[in-house]
Structures are given as C-alpha cells and as structure tokens.
Structure 1
Amino acid sequence: AFACSVNVALDLTVTIYSNGLLYISHQIKTLVNSLIKGVYPASPSSWLFVAIGILATMYMQSDPSMGLITKIQQHLPLHMSLSAQGQTMVSALVFSTLLWLSLILALRFCLKLLLSYHQWMFEKHGRMSNTTKVWVPLVRLLSSRKPLLYSYQSSLPHLPVPAIQDTVSRYLESVRPLLTDPEFKRMSDLANEFESNLGNRLQRYLKLKALWATNYVSDWWEEYVYLRSRGPIMVNSNYYGMDFLYVTPTSVQAARAGNTITALLLYRRKVNREELKPVRLRVPGTVIPLCAAQCERMFNTTRTPGVETDVLQHWLDSEFVAVYHRGRYFRLWVYRAGRLLSPREIEDQIQRILDDASPPLPGEEKLGALTAGDRIPWAQMRKQYFSSGVNKRSLDIIERAAFFVTLDDEEQGMRGDDPEGNLDRYAKSLLHGKCYDRWFDKSFSVVIYKNGKSGLNAEHSWADAPTVAHLWEYTLATDAFQLGYTEDGHCKGDVEPSLPQPQRLVWNIPAEVQAQVSSSLAVAQALADDVDCHVFPFREFGKGRIKKCRVSPDAFIQISLQLAYYRDRGGFCLTYEASMTRLFREGRTETVRSCSNESCAFITALESGETEEECRRLFQLASERHQNLYRMAMTGAGIDRHLFCLYVVSKYLGVESPFLKEVLSEPWRLSTSQTPVQQMNLFDLKNHPDFISLGGGFGPVADDGYGVSYIIVGEDMVNFHVSSKYSCSQTVSNVSVSWIDDLLYLLSCSPTPCNTFVNKMFYCVNPAYRPKKPGCLSWLCQS
C-alpha cells in the first residue's frame, strides 16, 4: 500500500510538473505570437535596423531626430547613474523605439487603406485598371511577410454603413420581379416615406455605432438572429457536414474516432499557436486576407441557454472531449502529462467505451433532447437542476470539453441496394440524429458511425459554414493521408498501458427533468420527422465545362435553381444566397438576392420560347448581374444586413416602421448557400479521385420553401443538399433535385438532345403540366 501511494504521488508530481512546463511554454509562445502579430506588417527584428540606423547617423555627428533625442535625454531620470555618453545612447534607443512604433502604425494604416480598395473585384478578367495595377504591388509589398493566423486582424477595414437611399433603391429593385404593379407602388410609397423621415434618424444612430464598434452588424446579428431565438436550434439553425462520398478509410469505428479526434486536436493546436495560414483570396499578382476572428471560438465553446437570450461561453483550453455512446456520457482525456495521446491510444480509449456494457443511469439516455427542444424549458431546467451537485459537475464536463463526440450505433453512407435513399438518411442522421444523441449546444459535435463513416453537426451562432468547412477539410485530409491506418484498419502508434479508463459521468435526474426531457424530445421529434432531405451528387459535369461557357459556376447554378423553382411553383420567390463579408474585420455574412430582374427576364424568355439569340443575351445579362450582386454583398454594399440593423435601432428607440417590419417578415422560400472548397492542395484528386467531399447542408428556412446547399468539387462534380418539409404539399426535395439535374443539362454545353427527356420527366411528375419547348441551350458554348 505504501509503495502504491508513493507511485501515485510520483505520478501526480510528474503530471503537475509536465503541466507546469506546458503552461509556461504556452505562455511564452503566446507572448512571442502577440509580439509578431502586434508589429505586423513589420517584424520585431526591424527595430534593430532602425536603432542601428539612428546610432550610426549620430556617430557621424548628425541628429536625425532634429533635437528630439536631446529633449528625451533631458527628461530621462538617469542623470546620476549613467555617463553623458550612456544617457545619449539610451535616449537614442528610446527615440528609435518611438520612431519604429510610428512606422508600424503608418504601415498598418497604409495596409488598411489598401485593403479598403475593392474596385478590383468589379473589373473583368484580364482588364485591370491602372489604379489596380498600382494597388497590386503595394499590397504585395506590405503583406509579403509570412503572417500568423491573426496577423491581419488590426489591418482589416471596418464594414462601412451604406447610404440609406442606396439600400432602399437596391431593395426596391430586388423585389420588383416578385410584386404586381399595385403591390410595387405600395412598397415604393412605404420605402420613400421611410427614407425621407424615420430612416434618416435611424441611420444617424447606426453611424454612431459604426464609429466605436469593430463591426456594426456582427454583434447584433449574433444576438438577435441566433442567441435570442427561443425555438429549437436543431434543424432550424444547426447544420451538418459529411464524410467522403465514395471512401470510408476504415470500417473500425474506434479507429476512425481515434484518427478523427487526433486530427481535430492537431487543428486546434495550429489555431492556438496561430500556425494556421490565414484564409486569403487570390487576386492576379497578390492575395487578400479574410478575417479570422471566427476561429477563436471553434473549440472549448458551448451555447448555454437562457430565458431571454442564450450566451456563448468559451474556455481557453480543454484537455478532454465528451463522448456519448448508447445513452451514457463519458469524459475522455486526450492529453497525458501534457502530451497529446497518439491516435492508437485514443482508439484504445474509445474501444473501452464501446466495450462498456453498463446501462444508462435513470434519465441519462435521452438527456441531450433538452438541447434539441425549445430554449426556455432547457434554461429553466438548467438553472434549477444543473446548477449544483453531480449534475453541475457532469454538465460542466460536457460544456467545457474541446468538442462533443457521438459513437453512433447505426451504419450510414452511400451503400447497399438503395444508395440514393441511404444518402438521404445519412443527411437526416447528421442533421438531427435521434434528437437526443447529439449535444446541439456544443460548437460542433462529431459523429462516428458503426461502419466507420463520420460527419459533424455544427452550432451556427459562433461562426459560419466556411470556417467549419475549413476545419472539416483539414480533418478528413489529415485522417486519410497523414495519419492513415494499418492494414487491418487500426490507427498507427503505440499504446501506453497505464492510461486511466474513460470517466463515466454521473447524473441525478429527478422526475421533473425526465418529464421535460420527454416534452423536449416530442417537440424535436416532430421537427425532425417533418424534414425531407435529399443529397444529390451531380457527376455529369462541373465547373470545368461551365467555365468553357464563359460563365461563373455560381451564377450558372443560381440561375438553374431559379428556373427549377419557377417550373416547380409556377412563379418566382425571394431567394437567399449567403455571401461572406470577411474582407472586413469581424465580418460574417450578407445576403445576395439572387432573384433579379435579369434572371426573371431570362427565365420568362426561355419558357415563352424566345429565340436563341435573345435567350443568349438575357442569360449573359442575368449571370453578369448575379456576379455584380455577389461582389456588392462582399464589399459591404448589400441590402439585408443594413436594413436589419436599422430595424434593431428602431426597436431600441421604441419606434415602429411599417417598411422595415414588412421587409424583415418576408419569407425566404429558396434559401441557398455554396460550401467553398478552400484547401484543394490537401486532396490529390488525380491520384485519389474517390476522395471526394460531399459537403454539407441545412434545414429549410421557410415552412413552404427549400434549403439548397451545394459544393463544387474539382472540375467535374457538383454535390447538392436539398431540404424541405413533408408538411408542405407543394415541396418535395427529391423531385426538385431531379429537376436541377435536367436543368443543368439544359443549360450546359452538352450537345446531348435533352429536351425530350426533360419534357417526359415533367409529364411524369405532373401530368397536367405541358411545358412549352424550352430550346436546348448548347449555344452557351459559342463565343
């Protein structure tokens, strides 16, 4: 017993010592990184060159400070302790430091001015203006040093507040094709009255906020769109990401979990050390940085419920993850004495959880349903029953974990005799699961299925999909190509035999909480059962063939979606396409109102049988208009975020605006988003063509609408994720995607005569529909 106690004491001492060294090392690294990014675009070593230059000029009997060094010397409290020469040198070094800091501020100001220039985005390819030709080398000169993840943050411009007359004018233009003449006149009257009266007052307050806020939109957007929502965040807010389409690197569930958890923690290490390269847009001759602020809350973050509003809680670090398996919750330590466990060790720990046959505690199995239901009951339960004792300790472990892991006992993926239907079930599983086997409040939850397939479910308030997509790309690539597996499908690495067992979380769930769990589960289950998901890998062609048509792939797909919706519903609708505003500091998203006058004119002409020449002209106008709308949204000249903030100001002031109220209540019946592929260098599609990402998706925004997410993979593939609600008789995700398939054929460069097939397909779906001859648009290939 004595020997055992000594060993435990020694082990504890070694652990404390290792953790202490790790903490000191982390603090030193943080200090160094703070210095490097604090002086960017200069370097810390540049101070030495400035100091040597000043001292050299003084040695040559010249005063570069024009008397400032002498004044500094007169005010330094060193007259008694240093010689006259020493005082002069110290004064020169102080002046050098001040000059160096001034130069840094000047360089940073110049870089911010340069990054505020966005006209390059509106110039046609190969037609660069003289201003842009001067701008490109200046940006390259000031950002040539290798940056850390957050090096550009202080140099990014602030999001500008658009002129209110510009926003109102753009709004009226965006709704013109959706309204009849009397409806448009009424809306124009409302808009003009708002612009000339209340709008100017609200605009003044908004400009005041923009003077002191880093971003005049982001904090309100996070609070009022996400955190103050009192309905379920499952389906309505959270979104999902999928595994590879054709490949599952291993069928061993514990091994896939081991590599996936390791890859995620390696990514976190890169974020913490700021070793991750900042995401940048490529411009001919240079690159433009995007805001990296969303990375800060990627890990160790939880959305905690409140009665009026939720709160995002973030912890600096966490050495464990929370794991759910068959109704039990576990804490899995992923560090040992400051060392990250090997993938094989994590696999071994996961296998211990899989082999644990202990039953769930009373009320434990479906406890996660509290995070899937309405927010107010969850907030009340949390405050009353999870604020002390074992419940608080266990809940703290889940909320403070680096992320959440579900070891699912189902098999998912494109498999079996019904690959299409299995993909749909795979999407639904990631979107909501069983409504209690995910922790929807965590920044993201990783799901590892029984057959080795994986995926994630992400909470939306802390960041947008491109940030999570960047993380997931790295995870998939690191798992498959860097960490790898042995021939029998297990993780690589050694196992330390003395690793402690994963810790079962202990709960004391009273009857009142169990009753609320059942109630929340009923709400969540009804919501989940109503979601119709369809995943559609389009393999016939991709952006390679679209670009040969001299058309933007995104504009091509958006116009196709417009045409699909028109044929589905017999009209046009307000269409949401997400665009990022990360060219600005703390930027998030803006709305591209893809349904424009030009796109509607093209679709109307196509459906009415206009000539190919006229359709060609209208299509080019529609695609150019879409690209212009997208660029305006990216550069701060969007519509919806400005109107949203004006509405928030009106609520603060207690005034009503019929115009703003109507604008913000308009339903988005077609909500779309492109998942960008940001790290194609991680995937070698030539040598490994099967390692294709499926992307991810989200639930429908409107009860009678569609949610469409798509990812353009490589040159020859586009993956679609379409969602709608079974309760709406007018929407069917599967049928709509089939139309997208044929519409992409219709708009493609393919010489295949597709008109007959399209007409047959429409007739089979709706016998009452007799489409007019649409005309094959193979002319898009022609110059």
Structure 2
Amino acid sequence: MAEAHSAVAFSFNVTHEGVDVRYNHEALRAVWFSGLHSWKLRFIRFKNRCVNILYPAPPASLFLLTALVMGLQLYSEQDLSYGMIEFFTGFFPECVHDSCEVMAAFFFGVAVWILCVLLWRYTLKLLLLNHSWMYSPFGKMSLPNKLWVALVKLLNGTNPLLYSFQSALPKLPVPSLSSTKKRYLQSIRPLLNDVEYERLSKLAEEFFGGIGNKLQRYLILKSWWSTNYVTDWWEEYVYLRGRSPIMVNSNYYGLDVIFVQPTNRQAARAGNLVYAFLQFRERIDHETLQPLLVNKTVPLDSVQYERLFNTTRIPGVETDVLLHVNGVSHITVLSRGRYYKVYTHDHGHLMHPKDFERMFQEILDDKSSALKGEEKLAALTAGERVAWAKARKSFFATGVNKASLTAIEKSGFVLVLDEECYDYNAEDPSELNRFAKSMLHGKCLDRWFDKSFTLVVSANARVGFNAEHSWADAPVVAQVWEEFVATDLEILGYTEDGHCQGAVSARELRPIRLQWDIPSECLDVAESSLRVAQAIAADVDLHIQVHQEFGKGVIKKCRISPDAFIQLALQVAYFRDAGRFCLTYEASMTRLFREGRTETVRSCTIDSCAFVRAFCEEERSTEELKQLLHVACETHQNGYRDAMTGKGIDRHMFCLYVVSKYLGVDSPFLSEVLSEPWRLSTSQTPHSQMNKINLALYPDHVCTGGGFGPVSDDGYGVSYIIAGENMIFFHVSSKISCPNTNSREFGKKVVTAMADIRRLCGQ
C-alpha cells in the first residue's frame, strides 16, 4: 500500500502549541453509514417480527375481516355476532350510538381475526406433530398421508419469511425410557459377545428401572420449560466447554468446485466470493431467505441462520462463549500475516464485486511486512483454549490490541488471501488431499479458527472454507456455499481476462491496516499454541476419494436409498479393513423441531452385520444376499427416520447424563455408554438444498463437499457428498500415529465395496 491506514477514526494530542485533533474522514464516514445501516436493520427486524407473530395470516386479512364485520353490522339487518357487538357497545357509554356500534364492530372483528389466526397456527402445529409420512415407501404414500400433505400445504400460507414457521414448529419430545433402552440394546448387540451383552443388559436394567426414572422426570420438566431440551446443553457441554484445540478436533472444512476454474485471479475470485456471501447475509438480515421445506411441504427450523455471520467463539478459562453482533459492515482480511479491516457497504449499500476486487488487490500489492508477533496471532485460536483465554485477558484487554481484536471478532467473517496454490489432478490424488488439509488446518497460524467461518482464496483463485462448529451444523454453511457456487459461476461470472464484471465505484474506500503491540510474553504463548497445533495437524491423514464410476442414479435403480447404500458400503469396507464391526455414528438433523440440531443414527445394526458377514464370508445365493441387503437398508432408513422424528437414543442418554451430574448421581451405565468410541464417524453433506446449481445445464458445477478430522484415535472420519446423478466424493480422515488405519487404503476399500454391492444388485 502507499500508506498505512490507521484503524482509529478520531485522535488528538495535547502539545505546548495546543490540541492537535486528527480525523480519518474515510473511517468516520464509514462509521456514520454503518450506524445508519444498523438502525435500518433494526427497523426491518421489528417489522418482520410483527409479520411473523401474525403468520400464517397475512396482515391484510385483519383489515379485510374488520371491514367485512363492520359493513355487515352497519348495513345488514342480521346480527351475525349473536349479540357480541351489542356487548362490546356497552364499553363505550359516552359516544354516539352509531360511533359506538362502529367501534364495537371493529373490536369484534379484531377478536374474531385473532381467534382465527390462533386456530390456524395451532392446527398447523398439531399437523406438524405427525411424522407418519416419513415412513411411507417411496412413491407409495397412503391416502391419509396425501390428505395430510394437502392440508399442511394449505395452512402453510404464502411467501413466508425466514422465521415465519418458528412458532408453528413442535417441540422435540423426550423419548420414553423403555424405547431408549430397547433401541440401545439392539444397537450394541452385534458388537458384543454373549457375556458382554448380558453384563451391559443388567446395567441397563438397573439404570432404566431405578435412577433413570428420577432423571427422566427432571428431563421432562426441562422439556416443558425450554424450547428444546437438548440444544442448549449440547452446545455448552459438547462444544463450548471443551478445553482442547478446536482446530481439527471440532472445526470442519469445505472445498471449491474442482472440475471448473472460472478465473486464476485471486482478488477477482475473492471479490465474487465476498459479494455472494454478503448478499446471502442481507437475505438473512431482511429475512427474505426462503425457509427450507422437506418435500416442499414440511418446514425446517431456521434459527441456526441467526449466527451464521458476525459470530465469534470467545475463549474462556472454564468455558467459551459465543459473541454475536448485528449491524456489522466490515470483514477482516488476512494476507501474509497482516490483518486488514475492509468495509463492505458504501452509503449503506453493499459494494459491488469489482470494488472488493480492487481493495483485495491493493492488499495483495502491499509490500509492507507483518508487525512483530502479528504473523503468529491466529495460532492462539488453534491451540489450547485455556492458554488463549488467559492470553486474551492479559494482552488484549486494552489499547490498540483490544481495538484490533474487537475488529476481528465483530467482523462479518474472516477472508484469507492465501499464498499457496491448490488444484485438482486426477492423476495425482495428493494434490486434492493437500488442498483439503490446507482448508482443515492450514499452517496453523493463517486461519482464525474462532470465527463462525473463515473463507480462503488460494494464490491461483481456488476457494474453500474452515468453519467453527458450536454455533450451528454443517448444512447451514453448505447452503450458503451452494448459493455462492451458483452466484459465482452462473450469475456474476468474470471478464475474458478473469476480472470481476462491472466497474469500480467513483468513491473508493480503502482497506484499513489493523495495528498491534504484541509483547514478548504473548508471543511466547502464540509459539506454544503453534507447536501444539502443528503436532495435531501433522498427525492428520486426510484423503479425498473421487468416486466417478456411478452415483445416485444407478443406486436408485437398485430400489435402495442412496444414503443406506453408502452406509452399507462403509460397513463392508470397515469389516474388510479391520476384520470386525464397530460402533458407527451417522449425523442426522432434528430440524423438524424447534431449535433442533442433530441426532445420531447408529448405522451398525443387527441386520447390517448379517448382510456384511454373508456378503464377505459366507456362501449365499444372490437372492439371499439381495434379501439381506434390502432388509439392512430398510432397517437403516427406519433408524434415520427415528432420529429425525425425535426417537433417537443418544441425545436422550446424553441429557440424562447431564442431569445425573447436576444431581451428583453416578451411573455406571451412562458413564460406559458415553465413553464408547465411535471408530467410524460419518456424515453426509447435502448438495442441493435450494436447487440453485443447474447440474443439467452445468454438470461440472458439482460441489466437492467437505470433511472433518478423525473422531477416534484408532478410527475413521468419513464425510461424503452425493454430487448429482453420477458422482460421490468421500472425505476420509484418520491419524497417522495409528498403525491400523490408512485413509487412502480405506477410500479404495469403499470404492470396491460400492462396486461389489452394485454388481449384486445387477446394475
């Protein structure tokens, strides 16, 4: 840059000649319009809150109904209110009779309208308690369920805002102790021998027949009082109270589309990327983003979108907290160890991609060096949480360090302009693996792991992200990523020489360099955190398996759910790899309920093990194997449906465990259940939640998906994305230090298992 901009808008010095007052006019102007933008958003939120309170009734219906009641009362000889209007007239003794009648008719109309709205909403809420439609065979919905779908569509209203359905969504029910006990024992039966199973069954009987009843009563009481009996405890105890590094252990990543590269200009790709994300943020702020509907009928909870932007995980000694602010009009840019504050709005309006490209190019062209200690600051977010919390309190509580850290933590998100180049080479899988590892942990000092998400643009304009997990789950970030891909490739585009479309605005805002004064003691903490993080990163064995032989198109011809097919293939691959079965975790959502997050699908079942054994070890006829396959897939599907509809077991037992700790009760059964290792942890990334990407027209625009670090020291983490009809990406992670795991070899075994099951189905 030609000059180093100060992050301070106003400053003064007192000298013997008087008071020297200095203004940064650009910063003051940005602050002024940022404040106006914030107040505008407050008004929009207030207006939307009023609309959501009335939804699904349109506000205009109030005026129509009251006008109709008043007209009928004044010009009709019949009293349609059955004396209620006359009753209301008695409350206005001082007015003229006609005026009294008009006012009474108005209030009667309002009362009737409120009753209609409440009846409408609670009828919809009652209908949404029904989940029998999920258990209908594909394409064979019963007549009662068809009528139910039609009625829900009728009551859904039109043009809902993002949060319009929140008050209509039912609460997550607390499963009965008997159902949880039954499902748990079924899930662990194939993993234990007779002696082990008998021992655990006795522990279960003692718990569910004894102290479990007391814990259940407290849990039911919590479910009556709270919006969701799981979510707050899940967020606090699973995420925020964890003291180990969140890099790799908690955060996850996502990758660019790999079969097309629209430009190789780093600043230009960053310009479109930031613009698309900020457009999505405006739709959230204005609540114009359409809520997701399952089968275009059943609404999903939308509360997770609230903290997508402007959110940071703040470290604490005992527990972290989430900081979320509204009305933010800047982002943070990290380039070559230097931090910049970049305003995103000009006169209250979102700037265009070309303006962002210009500012990012200015940052890239800046030849200045990082300040002392600045380059390693982000390592504090990658290390132990206690060390970071103490350093934050000691070295970032006052002065310029506090101002700069606040600018980062309150920014919309962090953008990293990376120095490395990444690409996809079908002949060299290590290239894509290196790309994925960079998004997962980078150099351990070039990602701000505390932010809700960090966007990364490589030197050759490949993009990806790293996301913090406590504030929401991966489908929310996957949705905005889908929106970006569609906007970047199919709407915004680039010029022939790779620049952003459009022209630079007349008034040029400039990046503001953040200033730091890092003492040597703080630098020592950063160095220590960096060593911890580097040791974790060095132990990650990450491999991306690009499966192009077939996709969900072929699987559907087998009359099998694609997810169940893949889960059975993972079971076959693990059995061939380890020679045994293991407790298997598959993430499922519970967003059919208010403030729902996730539930566990235990994919290793009695039926899946029966199929795998017969498929891998025994001589069975093709018909017998097909029958076992379909039974196993149907069992898996029912388990997935149970998890989605509040009948899962793991969140229930987790909450029972939390209650037991509050009451000071020790349960050998719960302690053993919650300490069982998930040696195979899996998750499916949704590809097209809003159908924004036109794969029929642009088949190369498939998203690569993302992944996460290994959950178990001696197991695998597998994330997969079903990308269109003919492709599946598997992101496989494990630990290099474990001699019994190898991510690349496991990926090959998954491909082999997929092909073997396909041949069994005759496809």
TM-score by length of structure 2 reads 0.95
Query: Which position in structure 1 is the counterpart of 2:678?
Result: 668
Q: Does the 8 A contact of 1:537 with 1:719 survive in 2?
A: yes
Q: What amino acid maps onto 1:63 in structure 2? A: D
Q: 1:371 to 1:27 in 2, by over 3 A?
A: closer
* Rounded Cα–Cα distance in structure 1 between residues aligned with 2:541 and 2:230: 33
Q: 1:210 to 1:492 in 2, by over 3 A?
A: same
Query: Which position in structure 1 is the counterpart of 2:9?
Result: none
Q: What amino acid maps onto 1:56 in structure 2? A: G
Q: Does the 8 A contact of 1:486 with 1:492 survive in 2?
A: yes
Q: Which runs of 4+ in 1 moved over 4 A?
A: 8-25
1:644 Cα deviation (Å)? 0.3
Q: Does the 8 A contact of 1:650 with 1:657 survive in 2?
A: yes
Spell out, residue by residue over 1:188-227, the C-alpha distance to the aligned partner (whole angstroms, 9 max, x if none): 0000000110000000000000001110000000000000
Q: What amino acid maps onto 2:354 in structure 1? A: R
Q: Does the 8 A contact of 1:16 with 1:337 survive in 2?
A: no
1:65 Cα deviation (Å)? 3.3
Q: Does the 8 A contact of 1:411 with 1:450 survive in 2?
A: yes
Match of 1:165 among 163, 166, 178: 178
Q: Is 1:228 matched with 2:246?
A: no
Query: Which position in structure 2 is the counterpart of 1:391?
Result: 401
Match of 1:595 among 584, 595, 604: 604
Q: CA RMSD of the aligned region, Å?
A: 1.9
Q: 1:203 to 1:679 in 2, by over 3 A?
A: closer
1:75 Cα deviation (Å)? 3.0
Match of 1:347 among 341, 352, 357: 357
Match of 1:61 among 67, 71, 77: 77
Match of 1:40 among 55, 66, 73: 55
1:520 Cα deviation (Å)? 0.5
Query: Which position in structure 1 is the counterpart of 2:41?
Result: 26
Residues 178-577 of structure 1 aligned to structure 2 (within 5 Å) = 178-282=191-295, 287-415=297-425, 419-496=428-505, 498-577=507-586
1:14 Cα deviation (Å)? 7.5
Q: Which runs of 5+ in 2 are unaligned?
A: 1-19
In terms of mean alpha carbon deviation, does 666-675 or 615-624 score higher? 615-624
Q: What amino acid maps onto 1:72 in structure 2? A: F
Q: What amino acid maps onto 2:473 in structure 1? A: D
Q: 1:24 to 1:666 in 2, by over 3 A?
A: closer
1:25 Cα deviation (Å)? 4.2
Q: Secondary structure at the match of 2:699?
A: coil
Spell out, residue by residue over 1:690-718, the C-alpha distance to the aligned partner (whole angstroms, 9 max, x if none): 22210000001001010000000111111
1:744 Cα deviation (Å)? 0.8
Q: Is 1:739 matched with 2:754?
A: no
Q: Is 1:611 matched with 2:621?
A: yes
In terms of mean alpha carbon deviation, does 632-641 or 502-511 score higher? 502-511
Q: What amino acid maps onto 1:524 in structure 2? A: A
Q: Does the 8 A contact of 2:41 with 2:285 survive in 1?
A: no
* Rounded Cα–Cα distance in structure 1 between residues aligned with 2:252 and 2:31: 40
* Rounded Cα–Cα distance in structure 1 between residues aligned with 2:388 and 2:77: 75
Match of 2:630 among 608, 611, 620: 620
Q: 1:679 to 1:161 in 2, by over 3 A?
A: closer
Q: Does the 8 A contact of 1:229 with 1:309 survive in 2?
A: yes
Q: Secondary structure at the match of 1:365?
A: helix
1:24 Cα deviation (Å)? 5.4
Query: Which position in structure 1 is the counterpart of 2:653?
Result: 643
Q: Secondary structure at the match of 1:690?
A: helix
* Rounded Cα–Cα distance in structure 1 between residues aligned with 2:528 and 2:753: 44
* Rounded Cα–Cα distance in structure 2 between residues aligned with 1:526 and 1:16: 42
Q: 1:392 to 1:564 in 2, by over 3 A?
A: same
Query: Which position in structure 1 is the counterpart of 2:97?
Result: 84
* Rounded Cα–Cα distance in structure 2 between residues aligned with 1:10 and 1:666: 60
Q: Does the 8 A contact of 1:321 with 1:402 survive in 2?
A: yes
* Rounded Cα–Cα distance in structure 2 between residues aligned with 1:383 and 1:28: 35
Spell out, residue by residue over 1:275-326, the C-alpha distance to the aligned partner (whole angstroms, 9 max, x if none): 11111110xxx51111010000000000000011100010012111001111
1:18 Cα deviation (Å)? 5.4
1:89 Cα deviation (Å)? 1.2
1:73 Cα deviation (Å)? 3.2
Query: Which position in structure 1 is the counterpart of 2:114?
Result: 101
Query: Which position in structure 2 is the counterpart of 1:174?
Result: 187
Residues 69-148 of structure 1 aligned to structure 2 (within 5 Å) = 69-76=85-92, 79-80=93-94, 82-148=95-161
Q: 1:23 to 1:403 in 2, by over 3 A?
A: closer
* Rounded Cα–Cα distance in structure 1 between residues aligned with 2:262 and 2:753: 34
Q: What amino acid maps onto 2:44 in structure 1? A: K
1:688 Cα deviation (Å)? 1.9
1:129 Cα deviation (Å)? 2.7
1:627 Cα deviation (Å)? 0.4
Spell out, residue by residue over 1:493-520, the C-alpha distance to the aligned partner (whole angstroms, 9 max, x if none): 2223542321111111111111110110
Spell out, residue by residue over 1:246-280, the C-alpha distance to the aligned partner (whole angstroms, 9 max, x if none): 11211000001111000000000111111111111
In terms of mean alpha carbon deviation, does 246-255 or 494-503 score higher? 494-503
Q: Does the 8 A contact of 2:41 with 2:327 survive in 1?
A: no
Q: Secondary structure at the match of 1:460?
A: coil
Residues 625-774 of structure 1 aligned to structure 2 (within 5 Å) = 625-679=635-689, 681-749=691-759
Q: Does the 8 A contact of 2:558 with 2:761 survive in 1?
A: no
Q: Does the 8 A contact of 1:30 with 1:273 survive in 2?
A: yes
Q: Does the 8 A contact of 2:479 with 2:689 survive in 1?
A: yes
Q: What amino acid maps onto 2:462 in structure 1? A: K
Q: Does the 8 A contact of 1:237 with 1:460 survive in 2?
A: yes
Spell out, residue by residue over 1:131-171, the C-alpha distance to the aligned partner (whole angstroms, 9 max, x if none): 21321221011014121111111100000000011001100
1:70 Cα deviation (Å)? 3.4
Spell out, residue by residue over 1:397-433, the C-alpha distance to the aligned partner (whole angstroms, 9 max, x if none): 0000000011100001214x85311000011000000
Q: Does the 8 A contact of 2:589 with 2:597 survive in 1?
A: yes
* Rounded Cα–Cα distance in structure 2 between residues aligned with 1:385 and 1:13: 27
1:9 Cα deviation (Å)? 11
Q: Does the 8 A contact of 1:345 with 1:493 survive in 2?
A: no
Query: Which position in structure 1 is the counterpart of 2:4?
Result: none
* Rounded Cα–Cα distance in structure 1 between residues aligned with 2:214 and 2:164: 37
Q: Does the 8 A contact of 1:470 with 1:679 survive in 2?
A: yes
* Rounded Cα–Cα distance in structure 2 between residues aligned with 1:315 and 1:329: 20
Q: Secondary structure at the match of 2:204?
A: helix
TM-score by length of structure 1 reads 0.92
Query: Which position in structure 2 is the counterpart of 1:759?
Result: none
